[in-house]
Amino acid sequence: MRAYERLLKYVTVRTPSDETSTTVPSSACQFDLAQDLIREFINLGLPKARTDEKCYVYAQIPATPGYENCPKIGFIAHLDTVSDFCDKKIVPVVTENYDGRDLPLGGSDGRVLSVSMFPHLKDLKGRTLITSNGDTILGADDKAGVAEIMTMAERVLTENIPHGQISIGFTPDEEVGRGADHFDVEKFDADFAYTMDGDTEGEIQYENFNAADAIFEIKGVNVHPGSAKDVMVNAALVAMEINAALPEGETPADTEDYEGFYHLVSMSGDVACAKLHYIVRDHDTDKFAARLETLKEISKQMNLKWGLGTVKLTIDEQYRNMAEIIKDGNMHLIENAKKACLAADVTPLILPIRGGTDGARLSFMGLPCPNLGTGGHGYHGPFEHITAEGMDKSVEVMIELVKLYAEMK
């Protein structure tokens, strides 16, 4: 079975994670896909595949006899999708021999997948393009990764490709930042791994953002506006002042590549109280630390101006740049990924991640884990798309990696 055929099945199982939930997994529907995958593993001849009570899926393909001393390689993807545009039945649409032009998606809102929005579409001409019907996400992030890993496993087993032990893991709740929270590195049993959670086939990513959540809570003084002089402290206006104090031109809309940012995710409030929620990102460790110090200084200055206790700043550091781990004796993962791409007739694309993956946190948990592309584009919205051919190439890259590490007895 080709990877895209699996994808067409998996995306119909809705698995949005829920950032407001305190359960693990954050949504019970993720178990539906996990159980489907366990049954599929068993049908492939891997009866020891299992899912735990927190919806993590683990499986191992035992080493070919004589290859037990090869490095143990792992592949990881996530089961969940974003919750945005995921409130309806997901209907995948297959467009064969795509002409490289604007494509009406046919949904109720009349959305069009346009070349002006996604210039790379012209390069997909002649391929089999897969989208949603425009009303929902497709779910290729990251069910494409799941489908490609399952297809790789099937091929290794049915084609008798010599290999060391191959470990497979699927995580819940990656989209709400909790995918690695309960991942059992010891149970996974690999020397290193790759997450299959990138974009264009051939992407190789080992540099991601350092990341933090930052929340300003502002306490105002609310009195009648007729007698407010020198008494009122308008929390909503203080919130606006805080945002204005941030460096100009350092938002996601103003930055690219290795440039960091402050991103105002949400804001709420009135005269009495207000709240600003930011995410802070930077690839460079020192610059990241400086960004956090900037926030602390703004909080300090607001309290000096408006009174102690007016502003409370809470910073929660989320993940770090995995380059620190990969560059420390693990660059073979990148060099071999480049070799695997070339062997699969795919151009290697070494790109920084303007975000993070499970692999970033797993790398600091003792499992070096760069990220590879799956062939998808336009994630987290109704314009999400992928090609069958791009997925095939991503599978080939994994197969070539298996072969490369099987040579290292």
Q: Which residues are catalytic?
A: 80, 174
Q: Rounded to 5 degrees, what angle do the CA atoms 361, 365, 369 make?
A: 60
Q: Is 87 annotated as a binding residue?
A: no
In the chain, how many H helices and how many E strands?
A: 10, 18
Q: Is 175 annotated as a binding residue?
A: yes
Residue 211's DSSP bridge partners are 281, 319
End-to-end CA distance of the chain: 30
* Full DSSP string of 8-62: HHHTTS--B--TT--SSSSSTTHHHHHHHHHHHHHHTT-TT-EE-TT--EEEEEP
Q: Around 6, how many Cα atoms within 13 Å sit in the side-chain half-sphere?
A: 23
**d(Cα 29, Cα 139) in Å, to the nearest integer?**
14
Q: Is 141 annotated as a binding residue?
A: yes
**d(Cα 139, Cα 83) in Å, to the nearest integer?**
10
β-bridge pairing 192-198 and 371-373: parallel
- Which residue, chain included where needed, has tokens 């893991």? 169
In three-state form (DSSP H/G/I as H, E/B as E, the rest C), the secondary structure along 267-286 is: EEECCCEEEEEEEEEECCHH
Q: Around 190, how many Cα atoms within 13 Å sit in the side-chain half-sphere?
A: 30
Four-CA torsion 404, 198, 80, 150, nearest 10 degrees: -30
Q: Is 78 annotated as a binding residue?
A: yes
Please report, in range form, the residues annotated as the binding site for Zn(2+): 78, 141, 175, 197, 380
